[in-house]
Structure 1
């Protein structure tokens, strides 16, 4: 009979779940890199012994595989889901896409770059990154195509939008929220070729400010 994973918890701890192990593993990945994602380190943070780890994972290699799958499910899944939100026109569609990067519970850019750094040292992780980048740009291209853009133009606009967003975080620009929001009308027009209506700009700004206030 397999032992209960809570048996090795230190006094006062509640049940430690698979999601807890993955959450702390992600924190370590973001803070210190994949080399520091260690069973003992995670257990120390959770206040449990390493034996409870084996209730959920076969090995550290299994943990890393599940961690990568969770990144793909969340970051890539969230981004793609936002390209498919209902939208009356392309401006509304791009606004919907941008919600995933202003929502604190949405796209996690720090995690994304931690995984990309991991991929520099692991060809298998690099392959997953490439697969995700392809899926993300394809979803954006499909978003543009649904709003009447020819296939080649939809593909290029998708790449410009996606590469700009990823590059924005890579540069670690020190801009305030209001500085970014002031550029929203010009960004929307540059990405789509369409001049946004004032109420569409206001809609996005209001939601971005609401997320920032949380």
Structure 2
């Protein structure tokens, strides 16, 4: 595991974000059991005292990781579903930005949170609530573009189940290959064929040419 050492501007206390960033990396590498104060302090070259300056205990640090996950993954997904779009295909391409851009949606963190929740009765309801929020945003997006409530619900479920299955399988697919598969997925998930202009715009957002 590689954890960034604090720079001099952070002082002896570091910063709350620095501790959360380090804890995030431990969570990805070793699961929630690996997120402990002493290993974090050692990796950062800081003291336990500096940790307790920012957090009252380990549970508060874990809560900060979960809050980051909720804000980034669920928050950005909902925002992309609500983004303006001229057609249902363009709307789904907006959502698919989350599956390409790790700055919008952190799939590794999503998987780590889901794995953690399997053995945490307090976290599992938050995962279920996040899924419900995501599904509601997807359904609303599809219904705005003329899909029936029943079809919108079915297609929203299919999209989220597909995505969770994709990153759970850790396929390691190259971005270019994944982009090539997106237009057919849009057709499957909407029943409409995206236009060449819609495909080209989606590709351009991710630095690729159609």
Structure 1 match to 2:99? 101
Cα gap change, 1:201 to 1:82, in 2 (>3 Å): same
**Aligned equivalents of 1:199, 1:42: Cα separation in 2:** 48
1:14 to 3, 9, 23: 9
| Correspondence list, 1:19-34, <5 A | 19-34=17-32
Structure 2 match to 1:135? 133
Task: Show CA shifts across 1:15-34 (max 9, x none).
Answer: 12111111111111001111
Structure 1 match to 2:46? 48
**Aligned equivalents of 1:204, 1:55: Cα separation in 2:** 45
**Cα deviation, residue 11, structure 1:** 9.8
TM-score (ref. length: structure 2): 0.89
Query: Secondary structure, in 3 states, of the residue corresponding to 2:171?
Result: coil
**Aligned equivalents of 2:201, 2:91: Cα separation in 1:** 12
Cα gap change, 1:131 to 1:11, in 2 (>3 Å): closer
Whether contact under 8 Å (2:6, 2:18) holds in the other structure is no
**Cα deviation, residue 183, structure 1:** 2.3
Whether contact under 8 Å (1:13, 1:47) holds in the other structure is no
**Cα deviation, residue 180, structure 1:** 2.3
- Equivalenced residue count is 201
Cα gap change, 1:169 to 1:11, in 2 (>3 Å): closer
Query: Secondary structure, in 3 states, of the residue corresponding to 1:98?
Result: helix
Structure 2 match to 1:203? 201
**Cα deviation, residue 12, structure 1:** 6.2
- What RMSD in Å do the two structures reach over aligned CA positions? 1.8
Structure 1 match to 2:163? 165
| Correspondence list, 1:166-185, <5 A | 166-185=164-183
**Cα deviation, residue 174, structure 1:** 4.3
**Aligned equivalents of 1:175, 1:65: Cα separation in 2:** 31
Structure 2 match to 1:113? 111
Query: Secondary structure, in 3 states, of the residue corresponding to 2:193?
Result: coil
Gap regions ≥5 residues in structure 1: 1-9
Where do 4+ consecutive residues of structure 1 move more than 6 Å?
none
| Correspondence list, 1:142-157, <5 A | 142-157=140-155
Structure 2 match to 1:58? 56
